[in-house]
């Protein structure tokens, strides 16, 4: 094995990727109806710019961003707007545009090639990304045009594509690297041109050796791009951990990657950028993994944004009778759902269905001060103290241990032999610290 890169801390949960890692990406069946939230991203929600009974086509803008940190929303199917109302989504309630399909999947006139890398300026490329509504597709859903617009004083010299996919069960990024490597590389080159960066990196965990080999082959004639094998460890996919592993730079407390001259994007985001430039297609569908011990036929599907979880799961044979937990994303950082009547969004990297055995909740015991949570924490925190003070309502004391630096990866809770609710306590501390700062 050649050189590989990593960071301090982290844990090694079982991969559980065997369900889908060998399964090719398939197109999901066109939904009869989509529910498209106006809030699918970090930042301000969009305002609908269509009305009930309007006919819309694929790629047509239906939600306008009214703030810089926001991203427009587009129709994922062609058909008639039936309702505009608040609906339950995977992350809470949001205003949604409900479209009934006409079955034609008709493209809007705006969906056409925008140009090529040589003919388009950096400013034009950035505008294409903004208008395409592209957001981070690793789960955080941060508007990509904002990430690619650092202030003048923040000189960027390093851009990294995140292909780690360290979250157990998920294989969407792995399959994307194998099946659409040219899109990933083109998207990276677009980002490099926008930022004026001469060297780009694609980081892939060592448990995806076939993807590493494929990307090395695709980029062998491009000296400006280097494939970086990174050790298989959770949460290797966190952008600050990848920066530290590859560059040895450490993002300061409260800082952003741009503070150390770096920008990190997901490989799925790069592929979406390629589609926006070369096809003119906004972000209206994405690859997601439907997997776990309680789904009958695990699959990697390309799904239209706004398709209900229920419909996607039914295309995978449905849920088994022993379904105990439904999660958007993976088991470590995903969001548990109480219903499958919620729509998929730009950030839905996977739908995980677990049986009772795999989702078993163990009663917590008193802390034994073993220090394993401190060893595992990739941000060098002391989770036991933050959580303990928070659960006792001693938030001023908890704040002294820097809870705001927590990336909520869950490594501490995973490794704790007493099964303490460490992450829950830290999240509580963070909420209280934010509330106190707003008041002051």
pLDDT at 81: 98
* Predicted confidence (pLDDT) at residue 56 exceeds the cutoff of 80: yes
Cα–Cα distance measured from residue 215 to residue 117, given in angstroms and rounded to the nearest whole number: 20
Q: Which domain holds residue 42?
A: 32-101
Q: Which of 278, 296, 317 is the last residue of a domain?
A: 278
pLDDT at 2: 58
Contacts of 283 (CB under 8 A, 6+ apart): 74, 132, 133, 134, 135, 272, 275, 276, 305, 346
Same-domain pairing of 144 and 38: no
pLDDT at 440: 82
Q: Tokens representing 309?
A: 């979880």
Average pLDDT, the chain: 95
Confidence of residue 363 (pLDDT cuts 50, 70, 90): confident
- Read off the pLDDT of each residue in 359-372 and give the average, rounded to a whole number: 88
Q: Tokens representing 146?
A: 């904002």
Residue 383 lies in a domain: yes
Q: Which of 75, 101, 127 is the last residue of a domain?
A: 101
Q: Judge whether 330 and 408 are in contact, CB under 8 Å.
A: no
pLDDT at 431: 95
Same-domain pairing of 121 and 262: yes
What is the percentage of the chain residues whose pLDDT exceeds 70? 100
Q: How far from the centroid of its chain's Cα atoms is residue 15's Cα?
A: 18
Q: Judge whether 194 and 146 are in contact, CB under 8 Å.
A: no
- Read off the pLDDT of each residue in 2-25 and give the average, rounded to a whole number: 91
The DSSP symbol for 107 reads B
Cα–Cα distance measured from residue 186 to residue 216, given in angstroms and rounded to the nearest whole number: 14
pLDDT at 4: 76
Residue 36 lies in a domain: yes
* Predicted confidence (pLDDT) at residue 3 exceeds the cutoff of 90: no
Task: Give whole-number Cα distances, 320 to 26, 297, 300, 323, 354, in Å.
Answer: 22, 10, 18, 6, 9
Residue 16 lies in a domain: no
Q: Tokens representing 136?
A: 């981070």
Residue 12 lies in a domain: no
| CATH number, position 89 | 2.40.50
Interval 385-410: pLDDT, tens: 999 999 999 999 999 999 999 999 99
| CATH number, position 181 | 3.40.50.11540
Same-domain pairing of 236 and 193: yes
Task: Give whole-number Cα distances, 374 to 155, 207, 412, in Å.
Answer: 33, 26, 7
Same-domain pairing of 297 and 332: yes
Cα–Cα distance measured from residue 416 to residue 376, given in angstroms and rounded to the nearest whole number: 10
Please state, as a whole number, how many other Cβ atoms lie within 10 Å of the Cβ of residue 410: 23
Residue 2 lies in a domain: no
pLDDT at 329: 96
Same-domain pairing of 163 and 192: yes
Residue 363 lies in a domain: no
pLDDT at 1: 42
Please state, as a whole number, how many other Cβ atoms lie within 10 Å of the Cβ of residue 125: 22
Q: Tokens representing 222?
A: 């491009």
φ, ψ of residue 25 in degrees (nearest 5): -70, 130
Helix and strand numbers (H, E) in the chain are 13, 17
CA-only gyration radius of the chain, Å: 21
φ, ψ of residue 23 in degrees (nearest 5): -95, 125
Q: Judge whether 243 and 160 are in contact, CB under 8 Å.
A: yes
Q: Which of 312, 328, 355 is the last residue of a domain?
A: 355
Helix residue spans in 64-142 (DSSP H): 122-131
Q: How many domains does the chain have?
A: 4
- Read off the pLDDT of each residue in 284-297 and give the average, rounded to a whole number: 98
Cα–Cα distance measured from residue 401 to residue 386, given in angstroms and rounded to the nearest whole number: 6
pLDDT at 130: 98
Same-domain pairing of 148 and 259: yes
Residue 290's closest CA among 342, 333, 328? 328
* Predicted confidence (pLDDT) at residue 429 exceeds the cutoff of 60: yes
| CATH number, position 301 | 3.10.20.600
Q: Judge whether 95 and 88 are in contact, CB under 8 Å.
A: no
Residue 362 lies in a domain: no
Contacts of 370 (CB under 8 A, 6+ apart): 417
Same-domain pairing of 200 and 263: yes
What's the pTM value of the predicted model, to 2 decimals? 0.94
Same-domain pairing of 242 and 135: yes
Residue carrying the six token digits 């608040």: 86
By CB neighbour count within 10 A (0-12 exposed, 13-18 middle, 19+ buried), where does 256 fall?
middle
Residue 401 lies in a domain: yes
What is the percentage of the chain residues whose pLDDT exceeds 90? 94
Same-domain pairing of 220 and 267: yes
Interval 172-218: pLDDT, tens: 999 999 999 999 999 999 999 999 999 999 999 999 999 999 999 99
Same-domain pairing of 289 and 273: no
* Predicted confidence (pLDDT) at residue 361 exceeds the cutoff of 80: no
Same-domain pairing of 346 and 377: no
Range in 62-66, 136-140, 401-405 the model is least confident about: 136-140
Cα–Cα distance measured from residue 251 to residue 256, given in angstroms and rounded to the nearest whole number: 6
By CB neighbour count within 10 A (0-12 exposed, 13-18 middle, 19+ buried), where does 122 fall?
middle
Q: Tokens representing 23?
A: 């399964």
Same-domain pairing of 244 and 346: no
């Amino acid at each position: 094995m050649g050189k590989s890169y990593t960071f301090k801390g982290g844990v090694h949960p079982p991969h559980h990727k065997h369900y889908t890692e060998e399964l090719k990406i398939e197109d999901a069946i066109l939904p009869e109806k989509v529910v498209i939230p106006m809030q699918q991203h970090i930042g301000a929600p969009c305002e609908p710019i269509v009305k009930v009974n309007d006919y819309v086509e694929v790629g047509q803008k239906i939600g306008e961003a009214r703030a810089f940190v926001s991203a427009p929303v587009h129709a994922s199917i062609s058909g008639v707007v039936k309702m505009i109302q608040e609906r339950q989504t995977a992350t809470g309630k949001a205003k949604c545009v409900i479209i009934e399909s006409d079955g034609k999947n008709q493209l809007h006139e705006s969906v056409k090639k925008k140009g090529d890398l040589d003919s388009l300026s950096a400013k034009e490329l950035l505008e294409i990304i903004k208008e395409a509504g592209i957001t981070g597709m690793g789960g955080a859903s941060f508007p990509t045009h904002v990430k690619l617009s650092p202030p003048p004083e923040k000189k960027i010299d390093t851009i990294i594509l995140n292909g780690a996919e360290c979250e157990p069960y998920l294989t969407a990024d792995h399959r994307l690297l194998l099946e659409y490597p040219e899109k990933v590389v083109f998207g990276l080159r677009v980002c490099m041109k926008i930022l004026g960066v001469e060297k780009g990196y694609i980081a892939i965990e060592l448990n995806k050796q076939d993807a590493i080999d494929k990307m090395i082959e695709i980029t062998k004639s491009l000296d400006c791009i280097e494939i970086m094998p990174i050790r298989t460890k959770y949460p290797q996919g966190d952008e600050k951990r990848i920066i530290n592993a590859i560059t040895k730079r450490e993002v300061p407390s409260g800082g952003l990657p741009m503070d150390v001259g770096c920008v990190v994007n997901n490989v799925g985001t790069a592929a979406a950028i390629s589609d926006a430039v070369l096809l003119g297609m906004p972000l209206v569908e994405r690859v997601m993994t439907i997997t776990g011990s309680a789904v009958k036929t695990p699959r990697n599907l390309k799904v239209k944004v706004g398709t209900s979880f229920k419909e996607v799961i039914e295309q995978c044979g449905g849920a088994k009778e022993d379904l105990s937990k439904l999660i958007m994303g993976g088991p470590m950082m995903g969001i548990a759902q109480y219903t499958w009547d919620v729509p998929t969004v730009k950030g839905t990297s996977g739908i995980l269905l677990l049986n009772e055995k795999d989702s078993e909740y163990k009663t917590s015991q008193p802390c034994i001060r073993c220090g394993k949570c401190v060893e595992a924490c990739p941000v060098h925190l002391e989770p036991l103290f933050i959580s303990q003070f928070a659960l006792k309502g001693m938030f001023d004391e908890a704040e002294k241990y820097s809870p705001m630096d927590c990336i909520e990866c869950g490594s501490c809770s995973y490794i704790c032999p007493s099964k303490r609710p460490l992450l829950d306590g830290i999240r509580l501390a963070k909420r209280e610290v934010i509330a106190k700062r707003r008041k002051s």
